[in-house]
Structure 1
Amino acid sequence: MERYDRVFEPLGNFELKGITDKSIEKLKNLGIVTLYDLFYYFPRNYEDRTNFKSINQLKEGEYAVIKGKLFGIETLRTRTRKTMIKAKVSDGTGFVELVWFQMPYLKKSLKMGDEYIFIGNVKRGYNYQMTNPEYRKYAESKGVSKEILPIYSSNKDFNQRSLRKIVKTALDSYTELFQENIPEEILKKYSIADRKKALKDIHFPKNTRDIEEAKRRFAIEELLILETGILEKRFAIDSMNNEMYVLEDNKNLVKKFLGNLGYSLTKAQKRVVTEIYKELNNGKIINRLLQGDVGSGKTIVAVIMLLYMIENSYQGVFMAPTEILATQHYLSIADTLLELGIRVELLTGSVKGRKKDAILEDIKNGKIDLIVGTHSLIEDNVEFHKLGLIVIDEQHRFGVIQRKKLREKGVIANLIVMSATPIPRSLALSIYGDLDVSIIDEMPPGRTPVKTKWINSSSDAEKAYSFIQKKLTEGRQAYFVAPLIEESEKLSFKSVQELFKEVTRRFPQCRAGLLHGRMKNSEKDEIMHFFKNHKLDILVATTVIEVGINVPNASIMVINNTERFGLSALHQLRGRVGRGIHPSYCFLFSETDNDVSKSRLMIMESTTDGFKIAEEDLRLRKPGEIFGIRQSGFSDLKFIDIIHDVKTIKMVRDIAYEYLRKNSGKIKNTHLRIDIDNKFLENL
């Protein structure tokens, strides 16, 4: 028997009758490179030629075969001057309208009064209609081939017939290579279809039941590969996760820090602190996602845990995705911790020369307790004396490899990753299956709800500008956000420079500053410092301000061309205001006609609940957009709806967990092991 891992070899390594080197090269444009890719290039739909119906039984949206007599055929022109053939057919139970485009020869081919077989999709207008149906003369036909044919996503290089032939050739020659990758006990317990049979059935099914059973099989398979791969990491940590280290349990600094805060933690913050503290105190390796809405107080929780580890002789790291955010974290905690005798330093790409060398030397010698920084912290020349806890803010902006590199620098690899983007339960169950999840689901007292208004006309815009002028005159500050940096010839959206010109024209008495990602870090820092200290009234910016910037006096957020933003991004931007004692407002400027964009804007107007927004964002996005947040292969799920299939996700996660538990965290099925390695390798 040939090795199973051959399925991941290029198609050119296999003898496939009738498939040329040229067609193999063209298949790459469809994402088909290996034999595995070809077998798993599943149909997007089917032509069900077994669905022979009388016209009065037709339903909208189905693929059907009808027999009827032709009458009333004519040639028409569309508005764009295309040729359209329109005809009617009846079988005595009703009428169907037939339409063909750019096929003028049909007027001569189709004969009035003759009986034909028509095959196609049924649409509903004033009457039932078929567009570009396949047809043949009934008298010449020995009935219809009653089969279900696959319909594949294609391009100009391949029609359906050629793709079907390629797939059929591969199935006939190499299906035996695809050994079973679901452990036998799981197959039997959950009555899952055999892999080889399912591969044949999903491409060339005999009936609709074959399709459904194959789809169920591959839905479970794709989740099992993913969940087992994710949970395997957790088992590896848990297997050695018992009294890995001993802390002296000193808490004096934490008590002083809490006493100096000037306010009490929320119940949710206290609960999360207790959860993490118990694990640290038991000597367990922390592997936790700290999740909470914008402004829920995650940073305070992280600082408390860092302080606890520092007081117990370890160093801490606080890693942020941008220099602006890292600098802000540093400025917000450095003075407070200095009063407690804790040395905090900032290490970013801007720190160079002797200053950087001195910081690196002090990190190595243990003279620095807490290092705040960006990806600079994972550089090879950064060596720690005794790194005990890593906190990563806005963790979705870091890749798997970056997190791994940082953890490897620790004496003990305790990790807390923070996300201000609320994550729906379905995602928490799946992509964060290797993490414990702590949720801060309570806002601190004093957070002002932000009133949100969608501005979709010039008259509403003028009213909004008058309102903003009033608030600026009262001493408030405002953000104006644009999606682009420079004018684009292809897009009509205002660039941030154009927006800056408009803002300075509309508010000539106000001091305005400009901030975007292409500025030098020193320029960004200066602008943010001016805005934070109210030397600027208005900050015109790109989404560089999406996370972390905290200016309590800023109570106005204006987002231009909001149709260019996802819901989570809009929610993050809105979270920049409502941080002080003043009533806060968010204006969403958009005159879009797009239905999805309209839905997003109406959701933003109706709720400030980040978890509801996250669910809706997930529902409205295309599947390929969802998992930019983590490189783990979820973007190519073919059979799972990440919102509606929570039960299936939970079931398969439990299956994976139980399988690993029984096997002491080992993946004993060789073929499952190979599939997992390939899946996670391609997504690093």
Structure 2
Amino acid sequence: MSKYNLLFSSLEDIKLKSMTKANIKNLKKLGINSLYDLFYYFPKSYENSAVYKKIIDLRNNDSAIVKGKIISVNRKYLFNKKLMVTMNLVDDTGILELIWFNNKYIFSSIKVGDEIIVSSKAKVSSRIQMVNPSYKKTKDESILNKKMSLEPIYPLTKGINQNKLRSLIKDSIDKFGYLLQENIPLDFLYDNKIISRNKAITNIHFPENDDLLNLSIRRFTYEEIIVLEANILKNKFLVNKNNKKLYFTEDNKKLVKEYLASLSFELTNAQKKVITTIYKEIRNGKIINRLIQGDVGSGKTIVALIMMLYMAENNYQTCMMAPTEILAIQHYNNIINEFLKLNIRVELLTSSTKSKKRKEILNDLKDGKIDILIGTHSLINDDIVFSNLALTIIDEQHRFGVEQRNKLREKSQISNVIYMSATPIPRSLALTIYGDLDVSIIDELPSGRKKIKTKYIKDEEDILKMNKFCKTKLKEGTQMYVVAPLIEKSEKLAAKSSEEIFEEIKEDFPEFKVALLHGKIKNSEKDEIINAFKDKKYDILVSTSVIEVGINIPNANIMIIKSAERFGLSSLHQLRGRVGRSNQNGYCFLEATNNNEITEKRLSILEKTTDGFVISEEDLKLRNSGEIFGTRQSGISDLVLLDIVENIKEITEVKDFIQKYLEEKNGNIENEYLLFDMEYKKNKKEG
């Protein structure tokens, strides 16, 4: 293992002639700080294979290898101080002009009379040229009789070019490649016919052929998943092992049964399944760390209420943290109405809570007189102390940072946490990002829930038809949301602000009462506006995406989203979920000002389906996985070869293998090289 450690030593400690101070400085700009980083700095693409040609046979854009003799070498500085080196190379058929920019080394390394081989794309006009070609001084004729190896193309920075980086990587692999010991457990390696690490590292940088390149990419894709999942699942295994029988409940369910009997509807099978799973974990004294994800309106909140009531009935406190005051108030109002008759005390704590009331809540919370506390991020304040907190519910969990979530969790020794997300996450992403959580999916909507009809509005004719339809529905008594992408007017962005749209709507719908709501309005005013809209004092509410979460007004069944192309698919789906919350049909109009091919493709997805999981999968395909919320926390953004969508099969295979491996090894990783790589990746991510 001592030699393996050399992979992780700093570049300054690497005994290599080409590892100069200047090169080290430039490598560090690329995030390369060790030999390991250099080996794993994979090419972004490869140049097409080239074949040997005589100069007279070169055609424009031909990828070719040419052998000849240098007959002239010149250099000059252009007007922008850029260095240009030109050389003339001849064979027995003609002259080829070679040009390099900003390459001082080339001028001193190649002399008149040198025989060299060059490779690049030819530019043929009045002259035949190659710009910044690869070159090699050689008398080896064998290279001319076969295709040249694929040339790697790397992301660069100022001060280092492709040839220099290729040379650095090749020299390093040639001298230190033997240090790369096998870090994939041998059972998995052999069962899946994965090529060795040493062979793969050479062929991912300098592939002998397409087949070996593909096998190398496959190998390192599996390796990335193994290192990621081993880190996540090892921690999960140890937490579960250490968190058994840490608390006890008497399993009282009298109040829960009363509450369920009072509901005017029956829980879906998906809801019952999640509740049964959590009950079982609590009865076994297991510390819960579970994500409940479900589509808009799937009934996640009712599951949370039942679990909070169950814990209160068994003499434990619970709390729920929501991302906005509007949502926290809504949760509080729902819970207080439901639980008051069950003699369960529920309190609300936000930044708007008056100091006298806040002091009372803090004292009663500490004394155990409060069963359930609802609030915003205010709940993580140091002066909030619970008597016996046993369950924390975090709603819309992706809106809170890791530190905020952990700080709330640390307020209890019995750190049971249920995270809820109304933004459906593709299974492929959940397997990776949330590998340390147990994931429950509520994929069934309550019976009687109406589907939302969605229409993509492309032009003025569509707008006129839409407005006519909306006026008819408004006259019948329904209400309408109009969503704007911006609060205020922007000179940089083409989209209209909420103030501008507010004025337009008043003009287009003169016979109806219109209100305006956005994030800059004080919380007290927001509540007044929302309550007035709920009481039908307004027909239309113009708002920014502040209504995306937490607004529940069953009579509002129409939504127009302006400049819909500016929103992500998941956000549009979330917004759409504000309508269709009654036994009436919901209508959502997606009005776009930029109707290009991408916009049409994206918005057409929402026209075709209301399934949030399908939409999230399509969203993931259209976007970079690193843009999806939370990925930077998970390590997904550090991955190079893994495609979250395309590699779901490989992710599943690895996850199943690692779980079985940890069970057999009692949570230990016996491959010391894998263990070392896991630690290095973890430390690098944490900075």
TM-score by length of 2: 0.84
Q: Does 1:301 align with 2:303?
A: yes
Moved more, 432-441 or 598-607: 432-441
Give the one of 661, 666, 669 matched to 1:667: 669
Distance 1:500 1:235, change over 3 A: same
> 1:564 is matched with which residue?
566
Opposite residue 602 of structure 2, the aligned amino acid is R
> 1:83 is matched with which residue?
none
Checking the alignment, whether the CA contact within 8 Å between 1:118 and 1:133 is kept in structure 2 is no
Opposite residue 614 of structure 1, the aligned amino acid is S
Opposite residue 430 of structure 1, the aligned amino acid is T
In structure 2, C-alpha distance between the alignment counterparts of 1:453 and 1:256, rounded to whole Å = 43
In structure 2, C-alpha distance between the alignment counterparts of 1:671 and 1:518, rounded to whole Å = 53
The alpha-carbon deviation at position 87 of structure 1 amounts to 8.6
The alpha-carbon deviation at position 347 of structure 1 amounts to 2.1
**Deviations 1:108-164, CA, capped at 9 Å, x for gaps:** 999998598996689xxxxxxx9989699xxx9956472222111235544322322
Distance 1:154 1:368, change over 3 A: same
Distance 1:532 1:650, change over 3 A: same
Checking the alignment, whether the CA contact within 8 Å between 1:476 and 1:555 is kept in structure 2 is yes
**Deviations 1:502-559, CA, capped at 9 Å, x for gaps:** 2233233333333333333333333322223323322222222222221111111111
SS in 1 for 2:391: strand
Distance 1:121 1:383, change over 3 A: farther
> 1:444 is matched with which residue?
446
Checking the alignment, whether the CA contact within 8 Å between 1:47 and 1:150 is kept in structure 2 is yes
Ranges in structure 1 where 5+ consecutive residues have no aligned partner? 53-64, 74-85, 91-103, 123-129
Q: Does 1:47 align with 2:28?
A: no
Opposite residue 472 of structure 2, the aligned amino acid is K
Distance 1:538 1:5, change over 3 A: farther
Opposite residue 475 of structure 2, the aligned amino acid is T
Give the one of 184, 203, 206 matched to 1:204: 206
Distance 1:11 1:496, change over 3 A: farther
Q: Does 1:529 align with 2:551?
A: no
Give the one of 483, 486, 489 matched to 2:485: 483
> 2:658 is matched with which residue?
656
**Deviations 1:47-76, CA, capped at 9 Å, x for gaps:** 243x54xxxxxxxxxxxx7668559x9xxx
Moved more, 513-522 or 599-608: 513-522
> 2:608 is matched with which residue?
606
Q: Does 1:596 align with 2:598?
A: yes
Opposite residue 647 of structure 1, the aligned amino acid is K
Give the one of 317, 334, 337 matched to 2:336: 334
The alpha-carbon deviation at position 396 of structure 1 amounts to 2.1
The alpha-carbon deviation at position 317 of structure 1 amounts to 1.4
Opposite residue 429 of structure 1, the aligned amino acid is L
The alpha-carbon deviation at position 664 of structure 1 amounts to 0.8
User: Sequence identity of aligned pairs in percent?
Assistant: 52
The alpha-carbon deviation at position 378 of structure 1 amounts to 2.4
In structure 1, C-alpha distance between the alignment counterparts of 2:3 and 2:499, rounded to whole Å = 59
1:159-308 pair list within 5 angstroms: 159-172=161-174, 174-175=176-177, 178-308=180-310
Opposite residue 40 of structure 1, the aligned amino acid is Y
In structure 2, C-alpha distance between the alignment counterparts of 1:485 and 1:13, rounded to whole Å = 54
> 1:545 is matched with which residue?
547
The alpha-carbon deviation at position 648 of structure 1 amounts to 0.7
Distance 1:516 1:206, change over 3 A: same
Checking the alignment, whether the CA contact within 8 Å between 1:70 and 1:89 is kept in structure 2 is no
Checking the alignment, whether the CA contact within 8 Å between 2:89 and 2:95 is kept in structure 1 is no
The alpha-carbon deviation at position 4 of structure 1 amounts to 5.1
Ranges in structure 2 where 5+ consecutive residues have no aligned partner? 65-83, 97-116, 123-128
Opposite residue 223 of structure 1, the aligned amino acid is I
Checking the alignment, whether the CA contact within 8 Å between 1:224 and 1:652 is kept in structure 2 is yes
> 1:406 is matched with which residue?
408
1:512-527 pair list within 5 angstroms: 512-527=514-529
Distance 1:43 1:332, change over 3 A: same
**Deviations 1:141-199, CA, capped at 9 Å, x for gaps:** 95647222211123554432232233334434554555543344544444433334432
In structure 2, C-alpha distance between the alignment counterparts of 1:305 and 1:88, rounded to whole Å = 68
SS in 2 for 1:631: helix
The alpha-carbon deviation at position 633 of structure 1 amounts to 0.9
In structure 1, C-alpha distance between the alignment counterparts of 2:386 and 2:287, rounded to whole Å = 18
> 2:37 is matched with which residue?
37
The alpha-carbon deviation at position 402 of structure 1 amounts to 3.0
Checking the alignment, whether the CA contact within 8 Å between 1:596 and 1:620 is kept in structure 2 is no
> 1:454 is matched with which residue?
456
The alpha-carbon deviation at position 352 of structure 1 amounts to 5.7
SS in 1 for 2:630: helix
> 1:643 is matched with which residue?
645
Distance 1:253 1:33, change over 3 A: same
The alpha-carbon deviation at position 308 of structure 1 amounts to 0.6
Query: Over aligned residues, Cα RMSD in angstroms?
Result: 3.7
Checking the alignment, whether the CA contact within 8 Å between 1:4 and 1:178 is kept in structure 2 is yes
Give the one of 487, 491, 494 matched to 1:492: 494
In structure 1, C-alpha distance between the alignment counterparts of 2:500 and 2:29, rounded to whole Å = 39
Opposite residue 43 of structure 2, the aligned amino acid is P
> 1:621 is matched with which residue?
623
TM-score by length of 1: 0.84
Distance 1:111 1:630, change over 3 A: closer
**Deviations 1:638-667, CA, capped at 9 Å, x for gaps:** 222212222111111122112211221123
Checking the alignment, whether the CA contact within 8 Å between 1:393 and 1:418 is kept in structure 2 is yes
Moved more, 22-31 or 322-331: 22-31
In structure 2, C-alpha distance between the alignment counterparts of 1:349 and 1:131, rounded to whole Å = 67
Checking the alignment, whether the CA contact within 8 Å between 1:46 and 1:151 is kept in structure 2 is yes
In structure 1, C-alpha distance between the alignment counterparts of 2:14 and 2:378, rounded to whole Å = 46
Opposite residue 672 of structure 1, the aligned amino acid is L
Checking the alignment, whether the CA contact within 8 Å between 2:317 and 2:387 is kept in structure 1 is yes
> 2:100 is matched with which residue?
none
Opposite residue 408 of structure 1, the aligned amino acid is E
1:366-377 pair list within 5 angstroms: 366-377=368-379
Opposite residue 37 of structure 2, the aligned amino acid is D
**Deviations 1:395-453, CA, capped at 9 Å, x for gaps:** 22233333333222223222221121222222233322233322222211232211111
The alpha-carbon deviation at position 575 of structure 1 amounts to 0.7
**Deviations 1:256-283, CA, capped at 9 Å, x for gaps:** 2122222222222222222222222232
> 1:58 is matched with which residue?
none
Checking the alignment, whether the CA contact within 8 Å between 2:55 and 2:93 is kept in structure 1 is no
Checking the alignment, whether the CA contact within 8 Å between 1:121 and 1:133 is kept in structure 2 is no
In structure 1, C-alpha distance between the alignment counterparts of 2:412 and 2:423, rounded to whole Å = 27
In structure 2, C-alpha distance between the alignment counterparts of 1:179 and 1:270, rounded to whole Å = 49
The alpha-carbon deviation at position 572 of structure 1 amounts to 0.8
Aligned residues: 641
> 2:68 is matched with which residue?
none
The alpha-carbon deviation at position 601 of structure 1 amounts to 0.6
